[in-house]
A and B are shown apart, each in its own frame.
Chain A
């Protein structure tokens, strides 16, 4: 990303409930663990993952969105890769 791009990024009003398309791969932190599953909150949108592959809360994961309901801002996803906590 160039310096100018960095300067110009984010001059917008970003929604509290972002939407995602099925098949989209995103990077995000794990918000909660529930048994084997994970909850990932991006703003107030929630993506639930059944098999958390051992990722812990605050671990960064690569996540493929498998479904997303844009009305209720809830979706499902699968962990592609566990990147682990920040250094």
Chain B
């Protein structure tokens, strides 16, 4: 658990005013992406900066305290964890992509006869499998949007539905994976063992996933994939018979990452091994002329033409990553560069958002909401459980990295649940399912933006030259199609009302937390 800094803030207008920076940000996000249809993450960064500055004006007393709270929020470990996951997953996914993996998937889908109708349902299942294995829904959203999404488009699948299916798979894994950070937080904060928590949540996840698969099948065959006027109408169906299956060797480096993650290795270690292996495969595939890839696809310094740079370009080894170009095209490129760079705006946004949440904590905004809820709303066990579901949803709307949201709401779920002697497993399940789901449904949620960031990387990408900015799926249009997320929330509202899966402390005491 993060350490709580001692600083308390006082706001003109009361404790709820501490929610102002985040409230302004949400209003900005709805205006920008929902109403105007602009999915620019850097625009959201401007929104959060504005929110933090406006919040400052309402602080009573020393403004330095507010600044200290902002710093305390930005240096939280959970923020660093998300940043690391995005950077490494971004580099890895992009490196596999330049290695022809998308072509390999298209080849496999063609051979196995997975048409555009079936593609979203299959994508959901595979994304769920990957996310459950590696425990990071964000990483899954990034990898699948970089790799499977373009393959689906080429086969003529509906892009919005496909993006929704990828996010659904990420929800499933975040919710169920034993190594997922949200699973671990939910177990630890509700005093329950991780194995027991995972075992007890299968009964909810399976119900929601079954409904989601059915929904993706119905929608996949019911909604036309690409129709006239959609920008990708020209590329769909353009799968040439000559696509190379060789990119599928990257399944091996993906397997290495999954195996290491499942065995409890740190994500930096697991993904770095995968990245090194992927790079080695790329060099070999390129050298054997099986895939159009080279060292320069992964890292390339495009230098201005002069005597020195031309000399460097001619060198052995080092010359492989240097080319000389006209002055206008100077820069650094390659999958390692662009895979990481795609996430810079999201990383900055995340740090600022965690700071905004910290301001809300220090200003008593979360406490004010808790008191209101416990004393007036949650008067019966049904209402208490429903409050946990809705409260978790609301906090996820404000704190958009779902792990951070979960840490913020966890003490309240514990207090509320213990008041009615709701079992630790049940509390952990309510907490984690709704955290996992909503983080990929709200258009400003970290998981959704992570996928969107990866999608922006496809525009003009080396492996996807046909992908144009017009083909981007607006984050605000995908939320109705995150079927597994919606069904998971619905299952829990149903469970709160009917008692499905409910267990009391007196029925079964959760075991000690054996592993953090």
Contact = CB atoms under 8 A, between A and B. Distances in A.
Contact of A6 (B196, B418, B506): B196
Contacts of B420: 31, 41-44
B506 A42 contact: yes
Interface string B489-507: 0000000001111111111
Contact of A28 (B191, B381, B421, B498): B421
Contacts of B419: 29, 31-32, 41
A78 to B, nearest CB: 15
Interface in B459-516: 498-509, 511
Contact of A10 (B191, B195, B502, B509): B502
Interface in A1-38: 1, 3, 6-7, 9-16, 18, 20, 26-29, 31-32
The size class of the interface chain A forms with chain B is 20 to 34
B505 A28 contact: yes
Contact of A43 (B199, B381, B415, B501): B381
B203 interface: yes
B380 A44 contact: yes
A6 B420 CA distance: 22
B191 A86 contact: yes
A44 B498 contact: no
What bracket does the count of chain B residues touching chain A fall in?
20 to 34
Interface in B402-441: 415, 418-422, 425-426
Interface in B382-403: 382
Contacts of B507: 14, 18
A28 B502 contact: no
B200 A9 contact: yes
A11 B191 contact: no
A69 interface: no
B202 interface: yes
Contacts of B202: 7
Q: Which of B415, B418, B420, B511 has the most CB of A within 10 A?
A: B418
Nearest to A29: B418
B506 A44 contact: no
Contacts of A42: 420-421, 504-506
A17 to B, nearest CB: 9
B508 A9 contact: yes
Given A6-B200, A7-B199, A58-B415, A31 B501 contact: no
B382 A31 contact: no
Nearest to B497: A16
A20 B507 CA distance: 11
A58 B509 contact: no
Interface in A34-65: 40-44, 58, 60
A76 B419 CA distance: 17
13 contacts: A13-B498, A13-B502, A14-B502, A14-B503, A18-B506, A26-B506, A28-B505, A31-B420, A40-B421, A41-B381, A44-B420, A58-B415, A58-B418
Interface of A: 1, 3, 6-7, 9-16, 18, 20, 26-29, 31-32, 40-44, 58, 60, 86-87
